[in-house]
Amino acid sequence: MWLPRGCTSKNIVTSFGRRVFQSYFRVLGQWRRNVATFMPEAAGFEGVSDCSSLQEFSVSNSESFWAAAARERLSWIRPFHTVQDCDLSRGKIKWFEGGQLNVSVNCLDRHVHTCPERVALIWERDEPGSEVKVTYRQLLEMTCRLGNLLRRRGVKRGDCVTIYMPPCPLAVASMLACARIGAAHNVVFAGFSAEALAERIRDAQSSTVITVNQGVRGGKVTELKRTVDTAVQSCPTVQQVFVAMRTENPVAMTARDVDMEEEMLKEDVVCEPAAMNSEDVLFLLYTSGSTGKPKGLVHTQAGYLLYAALTHRYVFSYHDGDVFGCVADIGWITGHSYSVYGPLANGGTTVLFESTPIYPDPGRYWEMVQRLKINQFYGAPTAIRLLLKYGDQWVHKYDRSTLKTLGSVGEPINTEAWEWYHRVVGDGRCPVVDTWWQTETGGICITPRPSDPDAEIVPGMAMRPFFGIKPVLMDTEGKVLTSNDTSGALCLAQPWPGMARTIHNHHQRFIETYCQPHPGYFFTGDGAYRSKEGYYQITGRLDDVINVSGHRIGTAEIEDVVNQCSGVAESAVIGYSHDIKGQGVYTFVVLKKDVDDQEADLSRQLNNMVSKKIAKYACPDFIQFVQRLPKTRSGKIMRRVLRKVVERDLSGLGDLSTLDDPAAVEEIIQGHRELC
Ligand code: PRX
């Protein structure tokens, strides 16, 4: 893969490396004495003396807080005149209107002015020890060449470019090149199938797709360009496909394809940044909802970048010179906010992880921590649970003394995994921050930090709202629960700059999903418990969305695919508790009357279809063939009953009097026993 000259692991010096530890503890020590040392913009806030008063100030004086942060943290081409213009009940969300800026300038140029040779990206390639470091100067050069190329090939401000690439410097440069010329990007996780990719390209109406010839992950090669070829056959809008070379293996190129690296070399290294309005679209990112169709959430320029930058710095105590290791794929919001935008806006050094937690062995993460001297490690509970099972020796083998903060994201982290992460990985000395947030929120909203460094952290709890965030719990009647030691639907009572603005082309769906369930509040779709002390713990989704290995998927999306199988009459998909994945996929299938295929063949067929139409991670773990599904008299499938059967909580089946045919439940219980 083409990289500017000098991108090797040998000749790049991280500018601040050695001073990391001293500065970290110095800053923590000063925190109690002087809040302005901690957050410069807080110096002018009246009555703010410590972290909890700063949090209170940020909520009750939201405009002053965010205005000061936006002025301090972002470089503006034109200052904003209005801090916010929001009305959650109508789904109207606008921040920093009147302002103009360029996100790529904020992530690159301003750091190139002060520290051009600082490492921006460490590309941790699949083979351990083959990492590539890219400085801010080099990343700016890549971005500018690519920005010029996109412009020359007709990509205009307001267009949406689809990026189907694994984590690599050219993927980041592609995102930033879009931002530079004012195009939006739509990164699609490179594990998605051709059909899932095509659906997202069509919805985003992209005319340009950027990809690589092949992906390499866990020692296996995947044919990404071939997947794009299949996808674009059903995408009439696509006019050109830019192809970069991740491996040496040539791929068939058509008239539509452009050799991206060859063309980039013809371009100038200077690219005029577009002056973007705060509320212009920065990117779309598709995520699952409770209905079949994934939704393209829209994030805009200034508010998103500010929120990603502020949370990155304060949730993880990121300081200049630290090496930040977020192992999420760039195809998810975690990769967007904490591998790319947050760290780069802060002038940080960020790791792009191409591999898996167990390649070539279960010591991969910790060997990488040792080799790259990672200071903050941010990963998913599913990987922690998996590694825990392999035993402590894989962790102890490597030096982890550089680690300062450990983060967890994407799903609830159970106490056993939390304790292991803290005690074994972090040697009991690194705070573990369980971070709750969503594609919709743009950045972390509930997390134990920032707070007084001595404040307690409760295992498995996200605990405290971030600056500017006001969580509330609602009861089933839609009333705000004011007491503690209570559970309810988690809503956010105030807008914040990082939140999604709409669903691409479906503003009404945005309003119905997030704004109407509890008018005046942003409804998250999650349930939460608030402890006696007022700390939050996320209890899981309240809708039909499940979380498989940290990947969010609507049960309706899987059912849609299963129901397309010719022998299937109907189906019901539910999530069940899974040791490693957090939740697994359990599918009940009713076959059509005349089907005489073997169940094993049908199961194979169904798995293939889900993998082909969505992605491998969505494949059912169990398929139970049943005569009928338990339904209410009005014909609604009683998922509550199915869940209880799969959880083996037969005493909790509850009121079955509304069932149309109670015998269906007996059959299902019997079938479940035989299957598991
Ligand atoms: O249910 C919550 C769960 O993941 C959902 C968001 O998924 P997604 O948009 O893919 O973003 C994942 C990365 C931010 C949430 O609605 N979730 C996320 N973080 C946590 C969590 N559940 C429990 N604890 C968390 N820390």
The pLDDT tens digits for 250-273 are: 999 999 999 999 999 999 999 999
412 lines ligand 1 (CB under 6 A): yes
C-beta of 311 in contact with ligand 1 (< 6 A): no
State the pTM of this model: 0.91
Question: Binning pLDDT at 50, 70 and 90, where does residue 188 land?
Answer: very high
Residue nearest to atom 12 of ligand 1 (CA): 410
How far apart CA 608 and CA 612 sit, in angstroms, is: 6
Give the pLDDT of residue 594.
82
- Picking from 434, 535, 547, the residue whose alpha carbon sits closest to that of residue 487 is 535
pLDDT at 398 over 50: yes
Q: Which tops the pLDDT comparison, 518 or 663?
A: 518
Choice from 438, 444, 446 to test ligand 1 binding pocket (greatest atom count within 8 A of CB): 438
Give the pLDDT mean for 209-219: 98
- Cβ atoms of 558 and 614 within 8 Å: the answer is yes
The Cα 669–Cα 662 span in angstroms is 12
Measured from the Cα of 437, ligand 1's closest atom is 14
Average pLDDT over residues 373-394: 96
CA of 551 to the centre of ligand 1 (A): 9
- Reported in sequence order, the residue ranges of 592-658 that DSSP labels E, i.e. its strands, are 622-626
Q: What is the pLDDT of residues 288-324, one digit of tens each?
A: 887 768 999 999 999 999 999 999 999 999 999 999 9
Q: Is the CB of 65 under 6 A from ligand 1?
A: no
Tell me the H-state helices in 168-255: 169-181, 194-204, 224-232
Residue 582 falls in which region: left (phi positive, over 0), alpha (psi -120 to 50) or beta: left
571-614 pLDDT, tens digit per residue, is: 999 999 999 999 999 999 999 888 877 888 899 999 999 999 99
Q: How far apart are the C-alpha atoms of 663 and 74, rounded to whole Å?
A: 63
Contacts of residue 8, defined as CB under 8 A and 6 or more positions apart, other chains included, come to 132, 133
pLDDT at 233 over 80: yes
Q: How far apart are CA 664 and CA 666, in angstroms?
A: 6
From the list 260, 263, 266, the residue with the least C-alpha distance to 246 is 260
**pLDDT at 18 > cutoff 70:** no
DSSP, collapsed to helix, strand or coil, labels residue 128 as coil
How many angstroms is it from 138 CA to the middle of ligand 1?
A: 34
Residue 35: pLDDT over 80: no
What is the model's pLDDT at position 49?
Answer: 85
* Short-list 421, 413, 410, 451, CA closest to 315: 451
Mean pLDDT of all residues in 418-444: 97
Q: Return the structure tokens found at 516.
A: 């109407």
The DSSP output letter for 380 is -
Query: Scanning the structure block, which residue is given the tokens 């056959």?
Result: 233
Mean pLDDT of 629-637: 83
Pair 653, 668: CB distance under 8 Å: no
pLDDT (0 to 100) of residue 51: 87
Structure tokens at 671: 């079938």
Structure tokens given for 537: 């713990």
Cβ(120)–Cβ(111) below 8 Å: yes
pLDDT of 657 strictly over 90: no
Cα(552) to centroid(ligand 1), Å: 8
| The pLDDT of residue 8 | 55
Whether the link from the prior residue into 360 is cis, omega within 30° of 0, is: yes
Ligand 1 pocket test target in 326, 526, 536, 546 with most atoms within 8 Å of CB: 526
* pLDDT band of 14, cuts 50, 70, 90: very low
Write down the pLDDT at residue 636. 81
Q: Which two tokens stand for residue 88?
A: 């959650």
Q: How much is the mean pLDDT over the chain?
A: 93
**548 CB under 6 A from ligand 1?**
no
Tell me what pLDDT residue 17 has: 32
574's enclosing H/E stretch is strand 568-578
Whether residue 375 has its Cβ less than 6 Å from ligand 1: no
Beta strands at 160-164 and 208-212: parallel, antiparallel or unpaired: parallel
- Indicate if ligand 1 lies below 6 Å from the C-beta of 409: yes
Ligand 1: centre distance to CA 540 (Å)? 9
Q: Return the C-alpha torsion angle 257, 263, 267, 271, nearest 10.
A: 40
Q: Which residue type does 331 have?
A: G
Strands (DSSP E) contained in 38-196 are 82-84, 95-97, 100-101, 119-124, 132-135, 160-164, 184-187
The residue among 66 and 34 whose pLDDT is bigger is: 66
Rounded-to-integer distance, Cα 294 and Cα 286, Å: 6
Does the ipTM surpass 0.90?
Answer: yes
What is the DSSP secondary structure assignment for residue 436, as one 8-state letter? B
Chain segment 410-427, per-residue pLDDT in tens:
998 999 999 999 999 999
Judge whether residue 20 has pLDDT over 90: no
Model pLDDT for residues 100-148, shown as the tens digit of each residue: 999 999 999 999 999 999 999 999 999 999 999 999 999 999 999 999 9
Say how far apart CA 216 and CA 585 lie, in whole Å.
Answer: 27
Measured at the CA of 102, the angle between CA 98 and CA 105, to 5 degrees, comes to: 145
pLDDT at 660: 81
